[in-house]
Amino acid sequence: MSMASAVAAQDWAAQARLAVERALTQWVPEHASAGLGASMRYAVMGGGKRLRPLLCLAARRSVSAKEPLELREVLDQAALRAACAVELIHAYSLVHDDMPCMDNDVLRRGLPTVHVKFGQAQALLCGDALQSLAFELLTPEGAQVEPRVQVELCRLLSVAAGHAGMCGGQAIDLQSVGLNLNREALEEMHQKKTGALLVASVMMGAACAQAQLLPEGAVQHLKTYAAHLGLAFQVVDDILDVVGDTQTLGKTAGKDADMDKPTFVSLLGLPEAKALAQRLHDQAQAALVASQLPHTEVLSALAQEVIDRQH
C-alpha cells in the first residue's frame, strides 16, 4: 500500500470510527430501567479500538462497488447496525469475562470493570441485555434493507457468538488452565474465542452487498483474510501480555502467565510467536489481493494495525 493510500485509509477509518461512536451513543439506551442503561453505556462507551465495527464497515466498503445511490445508503446503514451489533457482543463478553467467577479482572481500558463499578448482579444483567440489544439492532422495524440480509446478519452473529464460536472458545479456555495444549488445540480455542467474532465482523459487512455484483469467490477470500487476521490478533495479544506493561495495555499485564494459561508465547517462544504473527498478517494481505475487490485498502490497513499495535 502506498503512503498516500495509507493516509486515505486512516482518514476513512477515523470517519468510520466517529460514525460508530455516534451510532452507539444513539442506540445504547441511556435511560433503561434501574441503572441498566448506565451500566450498558459504561460497558460500551468506554473507548476501545472498535476493531470489530471497523472491520465490518471496511468489509462493507470493499464490497460496495456499483450500486445505485439509494441502495448504497440502505446497505451502508445496515452495515452500521451490524458494526454496532458485533461491538455489543464484544462488549458483553468483556463484562462477563471480567467477573470474579471468570477472570476476576478489576481494570479494563484503565477504568474499573463493570462489576467493580456497578456490582456483580448488575454486570451480569448488563452483559445479558447487551447481547439482546445486538439482535434488536439488526432487526429494526421499518428497515429498508431486504429481510434476507437481516436474517443473514442475525445468523452470522448468533453462530459466531454462541457455543460453536465465542462462548465455546471461552469454555475451552476455562478448561485449559494448567493444561499443556498443543498448537492445534490452542488455535482451535482462539479461532472460537476471538476469531469467530472477528470473522463474523468481516462477513457481516460483506453480507451488506449485492452478491451478484462481486467477483467470484471474493467473499470466501474475505473470510480467509479475517481468519488469518483473527489468529494474528491473538498471537499479538499473547506477545503483548509478555512484553507490555499494565499502564500501556490498560489491563493487567502478565495475567495469562500468572494464571498458567497456555499462550502462543509459552508454546512457541517469543521470536517464533512474532514470526507467526507476521506470517499470518502476510497471508491476510494475500487473501485481499486474491479477492480482486477494488476497495480493500482499509481492510489492509487494519491488518497492519493489528500486528503493529502496542495495546
> Interface with a second copy by CB under 8 A: which residues?
29, 32-37, 40, 92-93, 96, 99, 101-102, 119-122, 124-125, 127-129, 131-136, 138-141, 143, 146-148, 150-152, 154-155, 157-159, 161-165, 167-172, 174-176, 192
Q: How far is the CB of 130 from a second copy (least distance, A)?
A: 8
Nearer to a second copy, 174 or 213 (CB): 174
Nearer to a second copy, 21 or 188 (CB): 188
Nearer to a second copy, 46 or 119 (CB): 119
Q: How far is the CB of 275 from a second copy (least distance, A)?
A: 29
Q: In degrees rounded to 5, what are phi and psi of residue 292?
A: 60, 20
Q: How far is the CB of 91 from a second copy (least distance, A)?
A: 13
Q: How far is the CB of 201 from a second copy (least distance, A)?
A: 16
Nearer to a second copy, 47 or 162 (CB): 162
Nearer to a second copy, 107 or 185 (CB): 185
SS (H, E, C) the chain: CCHHHHHHHHHHHHHHHHHHHHHHHHHCCCCCHHHHHHHHHHHHHCCCCCHHHHHHHHHHHHHCCCCCHHHHHHHHHHHHHHHHHHHHHHHHHHHHHCCCCCCCCCEECCEECHHHHHCHHHHHHHHHHHHHHHHHHHCCCCCCCCHHHHHHHHHHHHHHHCCCCHHHHHHHHHHHCCCCCCHHHHHHHHHHHHHHHHHHHHHHHHHCCCHHHCCCCHHHHHHHHHHHHHHHHHHHHHHHHHHCCHHHHCCCCCHHHHCCCCCHHHHHCHHHHHHHHHHHHHHHHHHHHHHCCCCCHHHHHHHHHHHHCCC
Nearer to a second copy, 135 or 305 (CB): 135
Nearer to a second copy, 115 or 281 (CB): 115
Round to the nearest angstrom and report the end-to-end CA distance of the chain: 24
C-alpha cell at 21: 461512536
Q: How far is the CB of 214 from a second copy (least distance, A)?
A: 19
| Cα 206 → chain centroid | 15
